[in-house]
Amino acid sequence: MKHLLDTASLSREEAIAILDIAEEMTQVSEREVKKLPVLRGRTVVNLFFEDSTRTRLSFEAAAKRLSADVLNFSAKGSSVSKGESLQDTIQTISAMGADALVVRHAGSGTPHRLAHTGWIDVPVVNAGDGTHEHPTQALLDAFTLRRALGGFSGSGVVKDGPRGRGLDGAKIAIVGDVLHSRVARSNVHLLAHLGAEVHLVAPPTLLPWGVETWPVTLHYDLDEALHSGDYAAVMMLRVQHERMHESFFPNEREYARLWGLSAARLAGLPKETFIMHPGPMNRGFEISAAAADSPRALILDQVENGVSVRMAVLYRLLTGQEETND
């Protein structure tokens, strides 16, 4: 695996290998000294052309825990604001000795372009590109769910843990603004590769063109969808107002009433159903405070596990190894 650009091209075996490495990295994160020397002398550059808190800090923490040097680039206040092209920016940073680039950009396909134009010859990690994909978010979601379920199969919970396993038989609902969500796209592909049964729940106006060809079951009514079977997890998506230039639903109150995970809907879910959200959350809009703060919510687990998963991705890309030798 040379780059991590999307989950659509990530095989089941590659995904499980990354999740298994992340299990090892979680043990490192629980030590008093949270460091491994495996990337000592390497330089990881975080190129963020979009605002971010969780993803940027998570990648920075991951690289530092692997003993890599980290350079953080933000488009604000850089030469980009003076008109410098993407090519010149990338080649300038590469000339400083970058060994890997973590790229977040508003333009869909930008990480793919960097990986295949020949401007650079180092691993590229997609940290979110436009409305296309966000592969490490999907990996940390799958990792969090796999751990919470303890290794799930259609017949029940597997007692020997999640290592080496996918999410075969797990039923997952992804609810909300699918149209503008790169997280939803990455999760659909990855969860399907891992054997999960994926259900998308959204108003027709917030579903992308061609969604009928995705490996999912579509629902347009949230209450009907939630009563259609037992879900291992319900993942709520943030409504991305900043990407909306038209009216996709009447108003916020109407959206919350029809599509939000209210306290009443939470109470109607099976006690074994976990609640997920990629963050940041709009409390009282797509998710109620009762759901966000529920003991069943895995939202903070997702944030915590993001560091281990990104450690696994950087380790795999920069060393080419599938397992750690501590």
State yes or no: 54 annotated in a binding site.
yes
State yes or no: 134 annotated in a binding site.
yes
Please tell me whether residue 245 adopts helix, strand or coil conformation: coil
State yes or no: 310 annotated in a binding site.
no
Given a contact cutoff of 8 angstroms between Cβ atoms, the answer to whether 56 and 72 are in contact is yes
State yes or no: 89 annotated in a binding site.
no
Please tell me whether residue 134 adopts helix, strand or coil conformation: coil
State yes or no: 185 annotated in a binding site.
no
Phi, psi of 113 (to 5 degrees): -60, -45
State yes or no: 238 annotated in a binding site.
yes
State yes or no: 26 annotated in a binding site.
no
State yes or no: 123 annotated in a binding site.
no
Q: How far is CA 148 from the centre of its chain?
A: 16
Q: How far apart are CA 210 and CA 122, in angstroms?
A: 33
State yes or no: 55 annotated in a binding site.
yes
State yes or no: 280 annotated in a binding site.
yes
CA 162, 165, 166, 171 torsion-angle sign: negative
Q: How far apart are CA 91 and CA 88, in angstroms?
A: 5
Given a contact cutoff of 8 angstroms between Cβ atoms, the answer to whether 69 and 318 are in contact is no
Which residue numbers belong to the known binding site for carbamoyl phosphate?
A: 54-55, 104, 134, 137, 279-280
Which residue numbers belong to the known binding site?
A: 54-55, 82, 104, 134, 137, 182, 238, 279-280
Which residue numbers belong to the known binding site for L-aspartate?
A: 82, 182, 238
